[in-house]
Amino acid sequence: MSIQNNIAARAGRISILGLFLVSLAACSGTTGLSQDKEMNFANAGKIDPKRKEMAISVAKEMRERRERVWCVPFARNISGIDIRGNARTWWTKANGVYQRSHTPKVGAVMAFSSSSKIPLGHVAVVSSVESPRQISIDHANWKRNQVSLDMTVVDVSKKNDWSAVRVMSHPNTLGSVYPVSGFILASRD
């Protein structure tokens, strides 16, 4: 599925979901503020649409030139978090420079830890927070040389701390468990 088709399909689902949530809130008789307070805060961060468009455009141009599209420059281009080096080093390099968290926020970089499946680690940008244990991410090179937008990620950690996740690489199928160091926020320390 092309990036444009994936975005259009996701936008259609988001519109339907938005209408459903508005009608649900109207019927509930409550504002839902106490229940949604944490999630609204988590979605308070933003992704600059111009940065995202630029990151996608750069990746597309690289593919056309048959160059490799990596997760690190893609995440840096979208988030504005200026860390260099392999993805596995980002969590440590962010310490003392950027705020770090174990709670996902829109625009934060999710730092996957190095493992046997991803020895160089991986980084992705949180595009939405769906629930306390489910988010969507934008990232590159999860599928070799591809950009993936709004890919679902589920927290499967025993302590609900986002230290272990499963990624929906294929429709309706969550993959293997991957370790995560945490989330790097665009705010500087």
38-188 is classed in which CATH architecture?
Alpha-Beta Complex (3.90)
Mean pLDDT for the stretch of residues 112-130: 97
Residue 141 — left, alpha, or beta (φ > 0 → left; ψ -120 to 50 → alpha)?
left
**Given CA atoms 59, 73, 171, 8 in this order, what sign does their dihedral have?**
negative
pLDDT at 189 over 90: no
Q: Domain ranges in the chain?
A: 1-30, 38-188
Could you tell me how far CA 108 lies from the centroid of its own chain?
7
pLDDT at 34 over 70: no
pTM score: 0.76
> For residue range 79-117, what is the model confidence (pLDDT) as tens digits?
999 999 999 999 999 999 999 999 999 999 999 999 999
pLDDT at 118 over 80: yes
pLDDT at 76 over 60: yes
Instruction: Say which residues have a Cβ less than 8 Å from residue 80's Cβ, sequence separation at least 6.
Output: 48, 51, 186
Identify any residues that bridge with 170 across adjacent strands, giving them in sequence order. Answer: 173
> For residue range 130-180, what is the model confidence (pLDDT) as tens digits?
999 999 999 999 999 999 999 999 999 999 999 999 999 888 899 999 999
Mean pLDDT for the stretch of residues 8-16: 44
